[in-house]
Amino acid sequence: MADSHARIEFDDVSRRAPGVVSALRSLSASAGEAGLEKPMIELVKLRASQLNGCAFCIQFHLNLARKIGVPAEKLDLVPAWREAGLFSAREQAALAWTEVMTRMAPGAASEADYAALRAEFSESEALFLTVAIGTINQWNRIAVAFRFTPPVPKATEASAA
C-alpha cells in the first residue's frame, strides 16, 4: 500500500510560497473573467484532476461544483462523459480538449483536436480554456507531489449530497 501521509499541506504551501499560490489563483480566475461558464470550468478541472489522480483537487473541485449547482448526475459521470448523454456539445468539446492537454501524448493537440475545440469555442475562449487546463494540471502536480490532504466538504455541502 502506498504511503499516504501529506509531505506538505496546502496551507503550508500557501504560507511559505504565497506568490506561487497567488499566481496560480490568478491564472485560474482568468477563464471565468474571460466569460467562460463556471460550471463547465469546474467540470474541466475535475476531469484533469481525475486523469492526474489528484485526490485533493478532485475533492476541492467537487466541493466547488456542488456549491455552484452543477447537477450531481454530471459530477458522477464525468469519468464517462462520452457515453453519459448529459453533457452539452460545448462541455464535450471542453472535456475532450482537457484530455488532450492533460495527457499530452506525442501528436496531442492535433489539427483535428483543435478544430473540434474551435467548433464550440471562439479563439479567445479556446485560449482561456487552455490556460485553465494548464493551470489545473500545475496544481495537480503540486498537490500530488506533496500529497495534500483532500479538503473535507462543509457540513452544508455534505448534507446536500
For 145, the grid coordinates are 507531489
Which fold would CATH assign to domain 18-149? AhpD-like (1.20.1290)
Model pLDDT for residues 56-96, shown as the tens digit of each residue: 999 999 999 999 999 999 999 999 999 999 999 999 999 99
Question: pLDDT at position 157, please?
Answer: 45
Confidence of residue 3 (pLDDT cuts 50, 70, 90): low
Residue 161: burial class (beta carbons within 10 Å; 0-12, 13-18, 19+): exposed
- Would the pLDDT of 140 be above 50? yes
DSSP string for 45-60? HHHHHHHHT-HHHHHH
Mean pLDDT over all residues of the chain? 93
Local confidence band at 106 (pLDDT 50, 70, 90 cut-offs): confident
User: So where are the chain's domains?
Assistant: 18-149
Residue 117 has pLDDT above 80, yes or no: yes
Query: Is residue 124 helix, strand or coil?
Result: helix
| Res. 2: pLDDT tops 60 | no
pLDDT attached to residue 107: 84
- Read off the pTM: 0.91
Q: 139: exposed, middle or buried (C-beta count within 10 Å: 0-12, 13-18, 19+)?
A: buried
C-alpha cell at 107: 501528436
CA–CA separation, 32 vs 143, rounded Å?
A: 22
d(CA 73, CA 76): 5
